[in-house]
Structure 1
Amino acid sequence: NSFISGLNHELYRCLFLKSLSWKQIRLVLKEETDALGMITSCQKSRVQSDDAHGSKRRRRSRSLSQTEKSLFSCKVCGKSFSQSSHLNNHMRSHASKKLHPCEVCGKFLNDKGSLTVHMRTHTGEKPFTCSTCGKSFGARSSFIAHVRTHTGEKPFPCPSCEKSFIVKSHLITHMRIHTGEKPFQCLTCGKRFGAKSNLNTHMRTHTGEKPFACVSCGKCFSVRSHLITHLRTHTGEKPYSCPYCGRSFSLRSHLNVHMSTHTGEKPFPCVACGKSFRVRSSLTIHMRTHTDEKLHICDVCCKGFTQSSRLASHMRIHTGERPFPCPTCGKSFSAKTYLNTHMRTHTDEKPQKAALTVQVRILLCFKVPG
């Protein structure tokens, strides 16, 4: 209850601050910092005057849950602290600075340079252009990071796993994988994240917000990267090329999967039988053969399937749909594997044993008893 009331207090406080000018907000921050300093000072005095009580309180402080610790957060930049004294010291860094408000959206920036860069998100100005690919950027730091994608430079190595990164912020976020630190918490469901961007994306699952719209078809997305990927279905762009065979892909993840066909790497082993897979999704589907989990059920005959694609193929038995026509003779088939087998009758190529085995298994599945 104290946690919920604390959240309600912060909500009203945010609404109150929103109604003030930036000068008034600076004054409020300074007053809060001074007040927090007095509280911290009093706490220190009580600890010094009563060692027994102090050690008891320290033990209680150490037992604070992650949820309680997250309440010591800066209202200006969102940074969280485990102790009020640490927050007090941090708040002085804001109170001593002249905050620069954005006249468009009201966001506060720590310096004039940051405000200038931020304003470009509203004006669309992108003064930094890559001489290699022509892509433009509004911030110099983003431009430098982009140039490294061409040069391959990754000057920020991880001391734990030898992985390297283009920018320092990516290294900091990555390090939380090793430390387990998740400083960003969803106030709706309590889920925690290692990166603020992941929290922002997660919050859209609660709000339903999809701020990234496709200019070609109007489809909206909750994540910018999903929009960028979708746009390639319109442009046909495939920026990721295989260094072995030259085949191109629209997604880096698809290239990584394809690369394993050359390297033979199968990094996802089954803990039950030891079989390994090139992609995690294949392992997930395979695991259902051990658990007998069949999530996809036919509405007509109630037969269960481990994959939605297999259910879709099965449904064509009921609907009679045959969406795979032969380009040579026009004959249609309900499954692509059947079409591939049929195509060999035109080329005189002998059907592969595996393809025939699949056909036999399907026929046996639907053989009428008696």
Structure 2
Amino acid sequence: MESPEKLNTSKLRLLRCRDWLQKQNSENSDQISQKNNNEVEYIITSNTERENLPSEPEDESIPAGIDESSVKPKAVPLNRLRVEGLHLECEWQSCRMYSTNYELFQKHVRTHTSDLHKMDKGGTVEFVCLWDICGHKTSDYPEMVRHVNYHAYHSRLLAIGFNGRATLKLERCKKDSSKRNQLPEVTHEHWCMWIDCDNKFSSIQTFFDHVNQHVKYADKLVCSWAGCGMTFARRVLLTGHLRSHTGERQIACYHCGQHFTCNRKLCDHLRRQNVNPSSAYSCPLCGVKFATEYLLREHARQHVSAYACALCDMSATTPAALAQHVRYRHLPAQHRTHRCPHCPYRAVNQYDLRKHIPTHTRKRKKDNKDEETDDCSDEENTVVKKPRVAKKYACHMCSGDKIKVFSRGTILTTHLAKVHGAHWPSGHSRFRYQISEDGMYRLTTTRYEVLEVSKQIVDGYSDPKESLKNSFEFDVRQVAEASKTSPRKYEIRLKGADAPVKPDIPVEPKDPVNPESSVEPDSSATSAVAPVEITMCDVDDQGNIISSKVIESDVVYGS
């Protein structure tokens, strides 16, 4: 039998536990009621609180992230990585169902389309996805159905990447995990563009399975996707190529949610973040270290320009960079499609327009800024910004022991232009600076180019450079439709140069001595053309025909 002292001690502990529980229930009663009522506001606030939580200690089994599974990854055979040992987790609010069967998991996730939260927005219903760390909103119900089905597909990729870390022996990802379940927008149905097939799907996995059936039963190893027509020696190559059309992915990073087309991309994604400081693979040009020799080779391409501009001395590392240069430096202003509603400014893309519009509404007076800061709460005023590291720009052309140092690159640019007479090459918009070993930024004086590109720039411009304001107008005409073995064909010509001629109207050739001189066509050719009847109508404001008149004309109107 226990002594009275022990009984009193145990009784005291029970009383303390009861008091503590009552206190916690009284403090959190509002949040508990909100959670039970399935309020979206509570979900959003709880997610933001979890984003601001301090990082958990590193675990050897899984990366630390928001609501990540406590199950350890399994090292499965590489050829069975996508079908064996998958731990599929439904992250819908208050669900947390686990499954190893992907088909059953898809059916389960599809049932959550009836559990969507509905919000009234000015007479229209807005649907909210309750998947963890998602928060996608839309008023289009079919779009939300496609979005929920995408979560099932994305969960499978996360499960594959979860085991892939153990199978491929990779270290954990160090990126932010609060955006793991934020998916790309699926505004349209998944449409199969295989020739003679126009099926549409709301489930992305069903769409991929359907396209794979086309590959499986294809007679010839030809990509019959509209506009392609590529041929392959093996069926597996055609399957991999078709993913470039459908956007299918094979694996995803379990921590940050980024998905990739193959295992190699995931390995590169994780190895870039876990570089050994003593790595032997370092770039000789910028000193950045890499985990593998392959990543070093991929990085070195960023330093070597392999594409030359035909209008100036600019060279670029990729075709996309060269196209971007042409858009900004050589595209006439009248061909920029994004127009500012407040001024005549025209932007190249939508991003530049969004950056320009605030210049018309920005408050520049200091008094207005002070009023805005006074209205802010104490919590907003207590936000501490990270201190900005001051950069130092040094002039490499000044002689003497004392180096001239500037606080901004624009000041150094003015110094180089006025004092030393330096100017940037044709096609470049400014000077570029790179950090040196002493931590100061100096002018980049070396540009690495492929030998053919250097010859094209040096030898290809014996005459003076053309003006950057030259504008070109083109005619684009489709000449053939896509077939099972060939893509669509287009014809692009400069306007006014070698224009196509109608076969029914004979045209005399130009004078070879003076090609610019105009030659009158034979009168017999024009007389052979039948006259054209034109009906001219007078209409009122409502579009009703008041009177009409038919006239004949011998003028041929081309399309």
| Range into which the TM-score falls when normalised by the shorter chain | 0.3 to 0.5
TM-score by length of 1: 0.35
Which has the greater radius of gyration?
A: 2
Greater fraction of residues in strand: 2
TM-score by length of 2: 0.25
Q: Which has the higher contact order (CA 8 A, sep 6+)?
A: 2
Greater fraction of residues in helix: 1
